[in-house]
Structure 1
Amino acid sequence: MMPRPKVRLNAVDQVIAYLWPSAGLKRLAARNVLGQYEAANPSRMRKGRKANGSPNASAQRGAVALRGLARHLEENHDIARGALRTLVNNVVGPAGIGIEPQPRRKDGSIHNEYAAALRKAYRDWQQTPEVTQRHHWSKVQRLVAKTWLRDGECFSQRLIGAVPLLDHGTKVPYSLELIEPDLIPFDYHDPARGIRQGIERNAWGKPTGYWAYKEFPDGESWTKRSYDLKRVDAGRMHHIASVDRIGQMRGVSEFASVITRLEDIKDYEESERVAAKVAASLTAYVKKGAPEDFGQGTGESGGAGQPRELHFSPGMIIDNLAVGEEIGMIDSNRPNPNLVTFRQGQLRAVAAGLGGSYSSIARDYSGTYSSQRQELVEQWIHYAVLCDEFVGQFVQPVWNDFVLAAHLSGVVPIPRDVDPESADDALFVGQSMPWIDPLKEALAWHSLVEDGFASEVEVMRKRGVNPRDVLEQIKAHRDECAEKGLVFGSNFANKDKAAPPAPMQQQDDKGD
């Protein structure tokens, strides 16, 4: 065990320790603590910036500006747009979050008939789930996820039953009104009524209402009505937000920590592109000798001070230069050979800040199978966390509303033998981790299933498909093949004819 370093006492410490030993001991302990936490002491080499404000105050100062910067980058920067698309596609995917209803009877068994009725009504509702009837359900999920990650939050009003001037367009009378965060004003405060940043809360901090503009502020058709506010009860509003601190009400863009770096990459690449274009344009100059040579005629142009035209062709010899003149070429040393390395380093930092995969953001898939799989395995947990937040704050509440609306409207009433508390139980299936080497992955899962460490249902869900749909497809395909007398493969064609396995011989416990 190494001895602790001794703290050297100065003259003041020695006097205090001699007269007041207890005070001297406290002074020595305080100096020891201060010496251990160098990061807490600002210095010439350390700025020591702090963020000690309340979570809502921090969001108030920067959330709106960060939202606008993130939108600008998405519209004008290919890397930012690709990074946002990567996050959305890995969290939501092409078919959205899958839902498998799991209603249970009072004895705990799954009520398959009620689950089938819910799935049928749900397939109809997925076609037009929102009020404009322009987007199907999986696209709605991607729009909400993109708004949530880019702007920091997204709102949606739940509309159930008869609503004036609204045609739900589906059997189940339930629709969503998607609302961008601009419509919930950040600068609307009324402390007397518990309203801050457009959200009304009770004494415990629970939202009780949202104050929204009736029209988009500063929109195309500005009217006085654009700045009129209406109160929406919290029970009718879904709010998904990206929050960093406890007590934070409004969300902040996921791009907040990487916006500066993305802007620097954009500016640097633009400068390099301009420099490369200049370098690609062949530029020559005529270097003259003594100062008095500038007053003489200039070759082919014939007049003093007139522009000079030099024509180049392969293998030509220039012999019309004046005395003391020579031709020089402008070399900009572009393209920069260090551009790729610098860009890769910056994109790795961007990927770390966003939580996305570097290979997907940079479109750089170099490396071995082991390195790519290690990156995918370590990265996928972040996508899974984002998927959990997205399901918990948006998809699951929407499903609960759908089951309630289906029951209240009589389209899919809850059977009497179903436990009412489990009527909206469901299994939410997010995106599965893709297989880098399908053959190796398939063999691994096959071994796990054969040895009893996994089930076929689990393998199907890991592949991102619904097991019930797969089984129905397999059964329909095999029935159709049987009707037409077609045989594909010996496994299922001769399965019933296969001989039963021979019984295992029992061995004596003592052995031979």
Structure 2
Amino acid sequence: MNLIDSLVNYFNPEAAYKRATFRQALAHYEGAKKSTTRKARRDTQSPNQLVQQGAVPLRATARYLERNHDLARGALRVLVNNVVGAAGIGVEPQPRRADGTIHEEYAKALRDAWKDWCRKPEVTQRHSFAKVQRMVARTWLRDGEAFSQQLIGAVPKLDHGTRVPYSLELFEADMVPMDYNEGDKVRQGIESNGWGRPVGYWVYKQNPLDVGLFLSNGSLRRISADRMLHIALLDRIGQQRGVSEFASVLTRLEDIKDYEESERVAAKVAAMLTAYVKRGTPDLYNPDDEAKDENGNPVPRELRMAPGMIIDTLAAGEEIGMIDSNRPNPNLITFRQGQLRAVAAGLGGSYSSISRDYNGTYSAQRQELVEQWIHYAVLADEFTGMFVQPTWESFVLASQLSGVVPMPADVVPETADDALFIGQSMPWIDPLKEANAWEALVRAGFASEVEVLRKRGANPRDVLEQIATWRKQTDEKGLKFSSSATSNSGETTSSDREN
């Protein structure tokens, strides 16, 4: 108690008790109090200050682990494959007329031009758009951010290679210097206005990591923000540069790598040790029993082990002892599983996929998949909003300006670049159970065939065209398949059942 509490307690103990009770009720969080078992944590730096100090070393460590640690590389691959997938984030144009209907002709023209552009979307013309998405997502998750400059129209010495004159120039975070600050406007290589909105990016003309390359601020060029796509993992309000998704699990991954390497070396050494000769008491030693060369010098004795051999050359008091090193460590697997569960929790990925441990019941695996898929969906939404959607909008604009795909007069201009972005669908653990469940939903009218197709990661229009073409060809050749029979019988189609 302080002095006032002591005085109150002396003259009026009841009032002192009430003061102590109310003070306890108004106390701060217990977790905020420093004690012998709890350190006091202080947050005295802004998000940008923390990023300034830690982003670059975290990025370097994440890249090192990706190159040299199988588990880290596999965890990154799991995230990329579930966020982007093999075919990338799909785009389905949705331009509309004034009455709200989709303009099918314009949508088809955009799809055809988009399909052509996806073959060579970037300046090197080495990667398809699906691969570009995977590369950008990999860089985004590993380094915390990635950049892409949009080039539209005629650019000196650049061959777009596609009908629509639009290309992407991809580069990593090293190209935008973290330590470049100029006045109050440019911080960490990003120029912002008074409201904090980026208006320009300062980028090296050459990669600063090239051997023997010394770059200064004079080696920078400014790229306007309207031509730059900045894909970044931003955790706090006001943060400008991204931080690796692996930031909170890097220490654990390094520990797993070091521990496994130590156990592997120990097991390898143990495998080289087989047996030893155990001799008796000193009084049994006889120098004449030792083998000697022609000069009378002792020769080391060798006992080469072989299956089924019988050793009859032991001296008096000697016996063969076997070395038991307790390697490999039987607790290694349990320890490794526990650490990988913590890594999976930090990354938000599936433990089964990261560890390749698929033991468990159908219900347990599905529950894990459902919970983890939310995280994949969130990352896919962020990636789409920062990279895929702006790319599509710029593509539509470039197709209009170049005259490759002119916008019809009956299309509402604001809807010209409207589209559905189709991400990865949650895979089916048991296809028969999943198919029966979706069929029941469609029959009851709670879902549509289009929704089912999209959940499977397919484009409904493509599937419809494929089915129509296939059935036309089979009818021309007089062939009948089960799908054709049910659709022509008029008895088992979903539309007839609903009617």
Q: Same fold (TM over 0.5)?
A: yes
Query: Secondary structure of 2:167's partner?
Result: strand
Aligned to 1:53: 45
Matches within 5 A, 1:109-508: 109-192=101-184, 194-220=185-211, 222=213, 228-290=219-281, 296=287, 299-300=290-291, 306-489=299-482, 490-495=485-490
Distance 1:76 1:214 in 2: 30
Show CA shifts across 1:86-122 (max 9, x none): 0000000100001110111112111111111100100
Please report how far the alpha carbon of residue 273 of structure 1 lies from its aligned counterpart in structure 2 after TM superposition. 1.2
Tell me whether 281-290 or 73-82 shows the greater mean CA deviation.
281-290
Tell me whether 212-221 or 238-247 shows the greater mean CA deviation.
212-221
Cα distance change on mapping 1:249 and 1:22 into 2, 3 Å:
farther
Conserved in 2, the CA contact under 8 Å of 1:299 and 1:321? Answer: no
**Residue identity in the other structure for 2:439:** H
Cα distance change on mapping 1:292 and 1:438 into 2, 3 Å:
same
Aligned to 1:510: none
Please report how far the alpha carbon of residue 274 of structure 1 lies from its aligned counterpart in structure 2 after TM superposition. 1.3
Tell me whether 349-358 or 333-342 shows the greater mean CA deviation.
333-342
Please list every run of 5 or more consecutive structure 1 residues that lacks an aligned counterpart in the other structure.
1-8, 505-512
Cα distance change on mapping 1:200 and 1:496 into 2, 3 Å:
same
Conserved in 2, the CA contact under 8 Å of 1:296 and 1:304? Answer: no
Cα distance change on mapping 1:244 and 1:204 into 2, 3 Å:
same
Distance 2:415 2:157 in 1: 34
Cα distance change on mapping 1:403 and 1:315 into 2, 3 Å:
closer
Distance 1:406 1:367 in 2: 51
Distance 1:10 1:207 in 2: 53
Query: Secondary structure of 1:176's partner?
Result: strand
**Residue identity in the other structure for 1:492:** S
Matches within 5 A, 1:38-49: 38-49=30-41
Distance 1:298 1:142 in 2: 72
**Residue identity in the other structure for 1:276:** A
Aligned to 1:3: none
Distance 1:301 1:334 in 2: 37
Query: Secondary structure of 1:166's partner?
Result: coil
**Residue identity in the other structure for 2:336:** R
Cα distance change on mapping 1:249 and 1:316 into 2, 3 Å:
same
Please report how far the alpha carbon of residue 189 of structure 1 lies from its aligned counterpart in structure 2 after TM superposition. 0.8
Cα distance change on mapping 1:22 and 1:116 into 2, 3 Å:
farther
Query: Secondary structure of 2:38's partner?
Result: coil
Please report how far the alpha carbon of residue 331 of structure 1 lies from its aligned counterpart in structure 2 after TM superposition. 1.7
Distance 1:323 1:503 in 2: 95
Tell me whether 482-491 or 97-106 shows the greater mean CA deviation.
482-491
Cα distance change on mapping 1:419 and 1:287 into 2, 3 Å:
same
Distance 2:439 2:496 in 1: 20
Please report how far the alpha carbon of residue 52 of structure 1 lies from its aligned counterpart in structure 2 after TM superposition. 3.7
Please report how far the alpha carbon of residue 37 of structure 1 lies from its aligned counterpart in structure 2 after TM superposition. 3.0
Aligned to 2:76: 84
Cα distance change on mapping 1:17 and 1:449 into 2, 3 Å:
same
> What root-mean-square deviation, in Å, do the aligned CA atoms of Structure 1 and Structure 2 show?
2.8
Query: Secondary structure of 2:421's partner?
Result: strand
Please report how far the alpha carbon of residue 15 of structure 1 lies from its aligned counterpart in structure 2 after TM superposition. 1.2
Conserved in 1, the CA contact under 8 Å of 2:150 and 2:227? Answer: yes
TM-score in terms of structure 2 length? 0.92
Question: In percent, how many aligned pairs have the same letter?
Answer: 65
Query: Secondary structure of 1:333's partner?
Result: coil
Conserved in 2, the CA contact under 8 Å of 1:114 and 1:415? Answer: yes
**Residue identity in the other structure for 2:275:** A
Distance 1:353 1:277 in 2: 32
Please report how far the alpha carbon of residue 51 of structure 1 lies from its aligned counterpart in structure 2 after TM superposition. 3.6
**Residue identity in the other structure for 2:335:** F
Conserved in 1, the CA contact under 8 Å of 2:443 and 2:497? Answer: no
Conserved in 1, the CA contact under 8 Å of 2:8 and 2:16? Answer: yes
Please report how far the alpha carbon of residue 289 of structure 1 lies from its aligned counterpart in structure 2 after TM superposition. 4.5
Conserved in 2, the CA contact under 8 Å of 1:284 and 1:328? Answer: yes
Correspondence for 2:92 among 92, 96, 100: 100
Distance 1:202 1:234 in 2: 11
Show CA shifts across 1:463-498 (max 9, x none): 000000000101111111122222212212434999
Please report how far the alpha carbon of residue 49 of structure 1 lies from its aligned counterpart in structure 2 after TM superposition. 3.5
Query: Secondary structure of 1:478's partner?
Result: helix
Conserved in 1, the CA contact under 8 Å of 2:352 and 2:358? Answer: yes
**Residue identity in the other structure for 2:245:** E
Distance 1:385 1:106 in 2: 33
Conserved in 1, the CA contact under 8 Å of 2:291 and 2:300? Answer: no
Distance 1:501 1:87 in 2: 42
Query: Secondary structure of 1:332's partner?
Result: coil
Cα distance change on mapping 1:23 and 1:128 into 2, 3 Å:
farther
TM-score in terms of structure 1 length? 0.90
Distance 1:168 1:177 in 2: 11
Show CA shifts across 1:149-200 (max 9, x none): 00000000000001111000000000000010000000111124x1111001
Show CA shifts across 1:1-30 (max 9, x none): xxxxxxxx7886241456799999777644
Distance 2:284 2:241 in 1: 72
Distance 1:297 1:58 in 2: 75
**Residue identity in the other structure for 1:286:** V
**Residue identity in the other structure for 1:494:** S
Please report how far the alpha carbon of residue 320 of structure 1 lies from its aligned counterpart in structure 2 after TM superposition. 3.6
